[in-house]
Amino acid sequence: MKTSYDVVIVGAGPAGSAAAIRAAESGLDVLLIEKRQEIGVPVRCAEATDIETTERFIPLNERWIAHRVQRYAIVNAVGDRVIVPPTSETIMLDRKVFDAALAERAAQVGADVRVSTAAVGLLHDNGTVKGVKVKSLGRAYDVRARLVVASDGTESQVARWAGLKTIPPLADYYVGFQFTLSGMAAYMNPAHCEYHVGVETIAPGGYVWTFPKGEDSANVGIVIGANQAREVSAQTWLERFVERRYPGVSMLSVVSGGIPVTGALKQMVTNGLMIVGDAAHQADPLTAGGISLGMMGAEMAMSVATQAVQQGDVSARCLRDYEHLWHERFGKMHAALYSVRKILSRMDEKQFDALVEHASRLPIETMTPGEIMLELLKAHPKLLLEAGTLITTGLVLK
Amino acid sequence: MFRRNGQQHVTRLDIDHDKCYSCGACVAVCPPDSLFLSKLTLQVDDTTCTRCNRCVAMCPVHALALTPVESLVS
């Protein structure tokens, strides 16, 4: 195999492939490696993302769009629901097909893509990352690179080797579990994605989602706070929910995993290396959605990387512009979403039920977030204390 | 849980491979990097594991447990 590139990208999930697409489009010589023998397998995701971001990287294709969704609904434990208009149109992906298509796109625009190729260490020279030691199809190689990109997921080894891995407290992790279910037609509106919230009876510190993948099938999954997961497992919580709400359905697949919900790492670069996607904790700190955010992170990283490589300066000082770009664009919003998650996890279930019941009677679609908040505060003055946190983080006064 | 002066740990991390999906949730939160997926099977390096218990809480299916070593012997 060829052993010298401008950029080597480790991990061919959406963030890795998006990085490969952007880097190759800018004329860089790119290698994208994936340790698994097939890209996109196993799926570890709820598969919902927004059209707008997706389209920036690859022309839409019905082969990997499983379903389109018009609305989101927040549902409390007693069944009241608030319908929220989405900020951008949502699609349900078939991740197996999508991930492979995105990597293929990277190949089409000029990147070299190699599966069954695992990073086993980094090459260093004078405190700068200079490439990756890989094992490819059973043989070992040293691949030199001007820049290495770590897109190897939440359990990123590359970020650890580079000394950038920080492990947040368990309170900042979700534990997740998901079934793909069929026989769902009677239980859902296929045009609505549902978030079920109930800290005592549904999902402590998290929520259950029902995301339709078609008229009769859905991804039904759960996240719970990791520090609330010792007594009853995420799997058991979800089994209980499904038995109660969706009797008689069939299980087509099972997914499990953990997601850091801290907001992106403060430090996402070092000399000769950048981290993107889940490896950089770029998922939304409330919903834990990470596909489009990881792809946006990759795009920002590669806009900085292209200049850095072309100018021959890949020092952390130069690459740090990527961190600035990220925090400018998402820093405030993610701090606010982080606060909302904390507030929700402190609320008892009755409080939340009452809030959703009240909101379900408001003409949400005609109101601004500020108006909605004011209306809810009038009816639930206890919320005022919590609202202070939100206002200081800039969510309400936007 | 951790004894100094060269003494042995009194617990050991046990992996229930019937339950484990090899999802890596535990790997991500292991401070000393003692957990790893080898050919998609979860393994623990007992010599570096500090028995911190984070992985146990993090497992979506409760496939991990710290088991007293005495009870393993008897």
* Chain centroid to CA B2: 14
Tell me how far apart the alpha carbons of residues B71 and A4 are, in angstroms, rounded to a whole number.
54
Omega before A42 cis (within 30°)? yes
SS3 A142: strand
Mean pLDDT, residues B38-44: 90
β-strands A112-114, A71-75: how paired? unpaired
**Predicted TM-score (pTM) above 0.90:** yes
Residues of chain A whose beta carbon is less than 8 angstroms from a beta carbon of chain B are: 44, 153-156, 160, 167, 170, 173, 175-177, 226-227, 229-230, 233-236, 254-258, 260
Q: Is the pLDDT of residue A394 over 70?
A: no
Tell me how far apart the alpha carbons of residues A330 and A296 are, in angstroms, rounded to a whole number.
10
Read off the pLDDT of residues A272-304 as tens digits, 9 standing for 90 and up: 999 999 999 999 999 999 999 999 999 999 999
The dihedral of CA A264, B41, B44, A270: what is its sign?
A: negative
Tell me how far apart the alpha carbons of residues A92 and A79 are, in angstroms, rounded to a whole number.
24
* Mutation choice for B interface testing from A161, A166, A256 by most B CBs within 10 A: A256
Q: Is the pLDDT of residue B1 over 70?
A: no
- Per-residue confidence (pLDDT) for residue A384, from 0 to 100: 64
Read off the pLDDT of residues A21-80 as tens digits, 9 standing for 90 and up: 999 999 999 999 999 999 999 888 899 999 999 999 999 999 999 999 998 999 999 999
* A14-25 vs A95-108: helix crossing angle, rounded to 10: 20
Which among A280, A279, A273 is positioned nearest to A316, based on CA atoms?
A273
- Per-residue confidence (pLDDT) for residue A389, from 0 to 100: 60
Domains by residue range for chain B, with CATH: 2-68 (3.30.70.20)
Lowest-pLDDT range of A98-102, B7-11, B14-18, B62-66:
B7-11
- Here the ipTM equals 0.89
Read off the pLDDT of residues A179-188 as tens digits, 9 standing for 90 and up: 999 999 999 9
Residues 6+ apart with CB under 8 A from A90: A48, A49, A50, A51, A68, A69, A72, A193
